[in-house]
Amino acid sequence: MLPLSLLKTAQGHPMLVELKNGETYNGHLVNCDTWMNIHLREVICTSKDGDRFWRMPECYIRGNTIKYLRVPDEVIDKVQEEKTRTDRKPPGVGRGRGRGMDDGGARGRGRGASMAKMSGNRGAGRGRG
Amino acid sequence: MLFFSYFKDLVGQEVTVELKNDLAIRGTLHSVDQYLNIKLENTRVVDQDKYPHMLSVRNCFIRGSVVRYVQLPPDGVDVDLLHDAARREARGG
Amino acid sequence: MAATTGLESFVDQIISVITNDGRNIVGLLKGFDQATNIILDESHERVFSTKEGVQQLVLGLYIIRGDNIGVIGELDEELDASLDFSKLRAHPLKPVMH
């Protein structure tokens, strides 16, 4: 089973996303793509140390900033594997620079800075716990 | 491709892979791929008292991107062959 | 040889993942892709410390991004069962520094 098939199946389900910078995002998955970019709705963002919270109606997270995703257990039973896997590779992997001397990942720059952005300010609040 | 080919020739030999988190894992080289991901068999961590985190692991896959060094067997380098390959590589294949 | 280069042989096995931020996550490998993204089912984290034995935290179903993975080890279940984790003391692993 491909990780991205599982992610696609998780559409509409709640999930937790931790970014490389330690921030976590809790929300419902609206959509995702083959780069693991994801679109969440009804989001609560928690700072690295877990002491600050932000609510936002939706956010968009760039795939390469993600460390891991936690999805509800039942989602794995709902995955239907596509029979037509013409291309198992996520785009951008195994191509580019040199001839396969690529370092096998760690592409993209930045330190996992969150690409999440407030969309409007509706419902965006600041909290403390 | 040079290092990929080189490591493929080393399959079956004992190596120690030092990672970028200071963990060093010794084992028999089972395979390598184009990213220089490495699979080791019969692994043991070099300083098991300090790093008991992999005590029950005997086979492992190491992501190429976290490898700092690969310690080779003393006779694991055919210098002449490597010279030739490096020149060929420099000439562009 | 090429056929076994990947993680195929670890699928449906219990694996121990060492992540770049120094965590140790154990679970059932359900899938992977070329970027070493993996699906871990029934996963839990083993937290090492010098003050007390190894603590286990239940995590559940995880997708771990390949970027964040250092080592994937196949867990020898017999060997694992023979360990007394309540007595194991160790510093947590350092994060991977590139």
| pLDDT tens-place string over residues A4-24 | 999 999 999 999 999 999 999
The dihedral formed by the CA atoms of B41, B42, B48 and B53, expressed in degrees to the nearest 10: 50
Residue C39: closest CA among C81, C72, C78, C76: C72
Q: Do C88 and B52 touch (CB under 8 A)?
A: yes
In this model, does residue A25 exceed pLDDT 60? Answer: yes
The rounded distance, in Å, linking the Cα atoms of B66 and A105 is 10
Q: Is residue C95 part of a domain?
A: no
Q: Does domain A3-83 have CATH number 2.30.30.100?
A: yes
Burial C55-64 (b: 16+ CB within 10 A, else e): eeeebebbbb
Q: Name the strand (E) or helix (H) holding C65.
A: none
Close Cβ partners of C61 (under 8 Å, ≥ 6 residues apart): A70, A71, A72, A73, A75, A76, C39, C40, C41, C42, C43
Q: Which residues of B touch A92 (CB under 8 A)?
A: none
Length of chain B: 93
The rounded distance, in Å, linking the Cα atoms of B6 and B89 is 12
Report residue C76 CA to chain centroid gap: 12
Say if A16 is an interface residue toward chain C (CB within 8 Å).
no
* Domain definitions of chain A by residue range: 3-83
Coil, strand or helix: which one is A13?
Answer: coil
Average model confidence (pLDDT) across chain A:
77
**Considering the domain B2-91 in this protein, what is its CATH number?**
2.30.30.100
Looking at residues A95-111, what average pLDDT do you find? 40
Q: What is the ipTM of this complex?
A: 0.94
Residue with the two structure tokens 């190894």: C54
Q: Is residue C81 part of a domain?
A: yes
Q: Is residue C2 part of a domain?
A: no
Percentage above 70 pLDDT, chain A:
63
Question: Which residue, among B3, B35, B91, would best test binding to A if mutated, counting the most A CBs under 10 Å from its CB?
Answer: B35
Q: Which residues of C touch A81 (CB under 8 A)?
A: none
CATH number at residue C37: 2.30.30.100
User: What is the domain count for chain C?
Assistant: 1
pLDDT confidence of residue A104: 39
Q: Name the strand (E) or helix (H) holding A111.
A: none
Q: Which residues of C touch A94 (CB under 8 A)?
A: 34
Token pair of B17 as six digits: 């892979």
Report residue A52 CA to chain centroid gap: 20
Burial A14-40 (b: 16+ CB within 10 A, else e): ebbbbbbeebbbbbbbeebebbbbbbb
Length of chain C: 98
The rounded distance, in Å, linking the Cα atoms of C63 and A63 is 12
| pLDDT tens-place string over residues A55-91 | 999 999 999 999 999 999 999 999 987 655 555 555 5
With bands split at pLDDT 50, 70 and 90, how would you rate the model's confidence at A112?
Answer: very low
Q: Specify the DSSP class assigned to residue C94.
A: P
Say if A64 is an interface residue toward chain C (CB within 8 Å).
yes
Q: Is residue C3 part of a domain?
A: no
Percentage above 90 pLDDT, chain A:
61
Say if A73 is an interface residue toward chain C (CB within 8 Å).
yes
| pLDDT tens-place string over residues C14-32 | 999 999 999 999 999 999 9
pLDDT confidence of residue B74: 87
pLDDT confidence of residue A122: 38
In this model, does residue A126 exceed pLDDT 50? Answer: no
* Parts of chain C with a pLDDT under 50: 1-3
B36: left (phi over 0), alpha (psi -120 to 50) or beta: left
* Parts of chain B with a pLDDT under 50: none
Residue with the two structure tokens 């785009």: A91
Residue B24: closest CA among B38, B45, B41: B45
pLDDT confidence of residue A127: 40
